[in-house]
Amino acid sequence: MSRAASLAANLAAVCDRVARAEARAGRAAGSVKLVAVSKKMPAADVVAMLAAGQTAFGENYAQELRDKRLDVESLRLAAAVTASPAWHFIGPLQTNKAKYVAGLAACLHSLDTSDLLDEVNRRVPEGQVQSCLVQVNVAHEPQKRGVLPEALPGLLAHFAHCPRLRCDGFMLIPPASDDAETARPHFRALRTLLEREASVPRPGVQLRELSMGMSHDLDVAIEEGATFVRVGTALFGPRTSI
């Protein structure tokens, strides 16, 4: 089987898995958006996925997104693939790297400090509004990025000072575990936070998205309300250097 055929088969399997999880949870078909995590994968793989029908791609490194989007565009046009990718930035973002993704990504999933909000807001081109998610450290893991739940209201209030940003929801990376069920309470806690904070009107804040769930636990995440799932290994296989 060719690499393109293998990727298309993987995509079909993951889409079927998402659809079955939606049905089990009593959710509408298509209520969950699949972000294919293409970090460290070659541009040719992204174009093959585009040809197979996948359009949302996630990158963890700002400079990789900056460079890969150009490579993908060249290959896409050469291959006469009509679909265009929507890039999502899902990794930790440093303020000095914001210039590489602000205004270019369809959504930034990992904003977590007021300084970062200010810098991204400064870098978004005039006339644009950048969709953002706030990364929340629900489990209070000291080694992980993300605003703590108790500091979340203050960070959401800061969007009022960032007219080129719009907070559309929250993102979560749960504690590492091979057992998907161990992530359930963290997914549930994030959904509870979103429901609570969505009841408070704030300028620049329209909470409706939950970015949570990866290859091994996306089924549980969908049951707990995920609207974005970020899937890499189940689609592309083990990562290799580009």
Task: Report the pLDDT value the prediction gives residue 239, as an integer from 0 to 100.
Answer: 76
**First-to-last C-alpha distance (Å) of the chain:** 22
Task: Report the pLDDT value the prediction gives residue 242, as an integer from 0 to 100.
Answer: 47
Q: What backbone phi and psi angles, to 5 degrees, belong to 133?
A: -125, 150
Q: What range does the domain containing 205 cover?
A: 3-236
Task: Report the pLDDT value the prediction gives residue 128, as an integer from 0 to 100.
Answer: 98
* pLDDT tens per residue across all 242 residues of the chain: 999 999 999 999 999 999 999 999 999 999 999 999 999 999 999 999 999 999 999 999 999 999 999 999 999 999 999 999 999 999 999 999 999 999 999 999 999 999 999 999 999 999 999 999 999 999 999 999 999 999 999 999 999 999 999 999 999 999 999 999 999 999 999 999 999 999 999 999 999 999 999 999 999 999 999 999 999 999 999 876 54
- Looking at residue 38, which CATH number applies to its domain? 3.20.20.10
Do 104 and 74 meet the contact criterion of CB atoms below 8 Å apart?
no
Q: CA 163, CA 7: separation in Å to the nearest integer?
A: 40
Q: Which residues contact 215 (CB under 8 A, 6 or more apart)?
A: 231, 232, 233, 234, 235
Report residue 6 as tokens: 């293998």
Angle made by CA atoms 106, 8, 17, in degrees to the nearest 5: 75
- Give domain status of residue 53, yes or no: yes
- Give domain status of residue 241, yes or no: no
DSSP string, 65-94: HHHHHHHHHHHHHHTT-----EEEE-S---
Question: Three-class SS of residue 120?
Answer: helix
Task: Report the pLDDT value the prediction gives residue 146, as an integer from 0 to 100.
Answer: 98
Angle made by CA atoms 83, 86, 92, in degrees to the nearest 5: 155
Q: Which of 152, 69, 66 is nearest to 102 (CA)?
A: 66
β-pair partners for 127: none
Task: Report the pLDDT value the prediction gives residue 240, as an integer from 0 to 100.
Answer: 63
- Give domain status of residue 242, yes or no: no
Q: CA 70, CA 74: separation in Å to the nearest integer?
A: 6
DSSP state at residue 106: S
Give the chain's domain count: 1
- Give domain status of residue 173, yes or no: yes
